[in-house]
Amino acid sequence: MELTLQSAGARNIFVTGYDTQNNDPYFRRICELERGKRHTFYFGMPISPKQLKVQIFDQDNRLFLQARTFQLGEPRIVPLKTSTVAMNQQDADFLKFAECMAVDMPTLQPGKDYVLDGRFKIQLFEDLDTSTPARIHSQHDYIQVSKVDFLKMTIPRRIVILLHEYAHNFINEDKENESEADLHALSIYLSSGYPFMEAIYAFTKIFHDNDQSVERLQWMREFMEKHQLYTDK
């Protein structure tokens, strides 16, 4: 989907899209508008609800279109933009599993294990009581997820976090390497057409404010530029 926005002055416009049945968000994005310039913003949606509602408002004064601080063009449905990085069958299978878990999260029951074909297992907790919303066991390959934390995220953010945990044990050469897991997760996520901005929002929310976190973000950007993975730039 593409949205065209324009303003007479520099503005920050907040755009959110969610499922009308359960209010589960598919994207949340701050769109920066330059004075007098017409901007087109792309929102990649490989999966979508039956009916999507989009809300757009001026973040500076929390007013909607009636405030006349910005102008909205007609929304356009456009072909999905995907990257060229290929994934194997195991990656594709886990991605489908992650998508189902992310979409169904509001109705899933904490305290249960969710398993796909005996290969992938996600243990759902109400809250992990840690600084991370998800983690994977270093030896037994099951992922633990905090429902409380996941429900605060958009659906694409849930998916990229699950892909990050999956990458640690199923793709990484070094299971403990966070940056390697970041890049593998991004490769799968972007090859499916999910929005880069949602991934960055997900990772920056989790990263601690230190030099290692800055380096991880820099490696992500360099990796994406090298492989031309930007889909919503």
Residue 97 maps to a domain: yes
Residue 34 maps to a domain: yes
- What pairs with residue 76 in β-bridges? 2
Tokens 């933009």 belong to 81
Tokens 């990458």 belong to 167
Name the pairing type of β-strands 143-146 and 120-125. parallel
pLDDT recorded at residue 179: 85
d(CA 71, CA 90): 45
211 and 176 in one domain? yes
Other CB atoms closer than 10 Å to residue 233's CB: what's the count? Answer: 10
149 and 54 in one domain? no
pLDDT recorded at residue 206: 72
Instruction: Report the greatest alpha carbon distance in the chain.
Output: 56
Contacts of 135 (CB under 8 A, 6+ apart): 128, 143, 144, 165
Other CB atoms closer than 10 Å to residue 105's CB: what's the count? Answer: 18
Other CB atoms closer than 10 Å to residue 123's CB: what's the count? Answer: 16
pLDDT recorded at residue 107: 97
- What pairs with residue 18 in β-bridges? 25, 53
8 and 63 in one domain? yes
d(CA 135, CA 102): 15
Terminal Cα distance for the chain, rounded: 14
d(CA 53, CA 90): 33
52 and 93 in one domain? no
Q: Give the 3-state DSSP-derived string for 179-208, with helices as H, strands as E and coil as C.
A: HHHHHHHHHHHHHCCCCHHHHHHHHHHHCC
pLDDT recorded at residue 18: 96
Phi, psi for 52 (deg, rounded to 5): -110, 130
Residue 78 maps to a domain: no
pLDDT recorded at residue 130: 82
Residue 178 maps to a domain: yes
pLDDT recorded at residue 138: 85
Q: Which two tokens stand for residue 109?
A: 């029951």
Output the pTM of the full model.
0.90
Other CB atoms closer than 10 Å to residue 155's CB: what's the count? Answer: 24
How far out from the chain centre does Cα 131 lie? 18
What domain count does the chain have?
A: 2
103 and 59 in one domain? no
Below-50 pLDDT ranges, the chain: none
